[in-house]
Amino acid sequence: MRTDFVVREVVTGLRRNVTMTIAMVLTTAISLVMVGTGLLAVRTIDRTEQLYSDRVEVQVALTQDISSADTDCSQPICMRLRSTLESTPLVASVRFESQQQAYERYLELFEGQSLADVVRPQSLPATLRVKLTEPAGAQAVRQAMTDQVGVRNVIDQREVVAKLFDFLGGVRDVAFALALVQAIAALLLISNTVQVSAFTRRVEVGVMRLVGATRWYTQLPFLIEAVVTGVVGAVIASVGLLVGKVLFFDQVLSGVVSNGVVPPVEVADVLWASPILLMIGAGIAAVTGYVTLRLYVRL
């Protein structure tokens, strides 16, 4: 096989149909950016679940009179509630947090933000923070604290975290749905480009077949053209994800990341997704080009 001939034919094909080639590259790139966004969302969901696996608690907030009068859970009502919680099934430990401690934690979470100036210690309730051995223990805690004197409300942090997971899952689903639509457009463009490229070179290919060239040899340049556009689209998509991380994720998520609500999107995450995008781009282009040549083009 003459490599120089194949390379020359690939370059000629890309240059001859330059507008369609650019359109195919850009469409593939947009599709792969959506896929990459979905992959980053999946990775963020996994890391967020790990982040909250040991952090999530059930909070039993005490009423204002108990919170103000008892600073160390040494009075009868608080002690009774704490003892009840410690004897509840699936409870690993119970920790008391006074109003002052809650206020200090609030200031730490919202340091440098305007919200830090609008809250005073007496605005926050004292809390019994319950660590569970299993998530199912939250229901047992809620039942044990129902109608108890001194209990203001029971907050299961897992319910709050579930909303965050739902949001991230929605981002993932939307990204994959848009990627599917763009992928269909990319497939059609690749197929049309291969057909047009083969048609414009039908005379040369016909001569090659007459002098003994195999069908695979005559099809190879068109397959390589498709793969090249897929690879270039994947590279552009990877660069786009990196730019999006710096200009979008780092800016929009800076507050929740600095407060430890969600883990940051790292450069390593983009580098992890890039080879996957490269394989998807090259693979889809190669398969589409091959199927088009077999079904619609007679070389």
Q: Which of 255, 253, 285 is nearest to 269 (CA)?
A: 253
Best-predicted range by mean pLDDT (120-129, 161-170, 276-285, 290-299): 276-285
Enumerate the domain spans of the chain: 3-52+162-295, 64-149
| Choice among 98-102, 254-258, 269-273 with the minimum mean pLDDT | 254-258
Q: Exposure of 67 by Cβ count < 10 A (0-12 exposed, 13-18 middle, 19+ buried)?
A: buried
What percent of the chain has a predicted confidence (pLDDT) above 70?
Answer: 75
Single-letter residue type at 250 = D
Task: Provide the β-strand partners of residue 53.
Answer: none
Least confident piece of the model among 82-86, 126-130, 248-252 = 248-252
pLDDT at 179: 79
C-alpha span between 232 and 219 (Å, rounded): 21
Find the mean pLDDT for residues 177-201.
Answer: 76
Place of tokens 């704490």: 82
- Per-residue pLDDT reduced to its tens digit, 243-266: 888 887 777 666 555 555 667 778
Instruction: Decide which of 73 and 156 is more confident.
Output: 73
pTM, to two decimals: 0.64
Query: How far is residue 56's CA from residue 119's CA, in Å, rounded to a whole number?
Result: 24
Q: What gap in Å lies between CA 93 and CA 132, rounded to an integer?
A: 7
Nearest to 281 by CA among 182, 205, 208: 182
Q: Is the pLDDT reported for residue 7 higher than 80?
A: no
- Predicted confidence (pLDDT) per residue in 36-53, tens digit: 888 888 887 777 776 666
Looking at residue 214, what DSSP letter applies? -
Q: Is pLDDT at 216 greater than 90 in this prediction?
A: no
Q: 292 or 278: whose pLDDT is higher?
A: 278
Residue 275: the pLDDT is 92
State whether CATH 3.30.428.10 applies to domain 64-149: no
Residues 281 and 275: their CA atoms lie apart, in Å, by: 10
